[in-house]
Amino acid sequence: MDTTESPDFEKCLERLEAIVREIEGGNLRLDTAMARFTEGMDLVKTCRALLAGAEQKLYLLLEGESNEPYLMPTSLKKESSDEF
């Protein structure tokens, strides 16, 4: 990934999916597979950070100007089974 521009979630996810396909293909040398795995783990961290940032923005938008939170849609609530 080019570190000169800010990461884009969709681009990170697309690259991560490509890496998974490469590794699952089973045609990589061990050192190449390890390098792809390392890159993939970095992309996972980036995606998680981008999602956390988006979630924080949603919380701020849902809070409103009165500093009283609105009802949060069920799909945005964290569940204990979603934690990694």
List per-block mean pLDDT (blocks of 10 residues) for the chain, which spans 84 residues.
Answer: 70 97 96 97 96 86 65 54 48
**Residue at 79 is within a domain:** no
pLDDT > 90: what percent of the chain? 54
**Residue at 50 is within a domain:** yes
14: containing domain: 1-64
**Residue at 69 is within a domain:** no
* DSSP letter for each residue of the chain: --TTS---HHHHHHHHHHHHHHHHHT-S-HHHHHHHHHHHHHHHHHHHHHHHHHHHHHHHHHHTTTT-PPPPPGGGS--GGG--
Structural domain count of the chain = 1
**Residue at 78 is within a domain:** no
| CATH code for position 27 | 1.10.287
**Residue at 73 is within a domain:** no
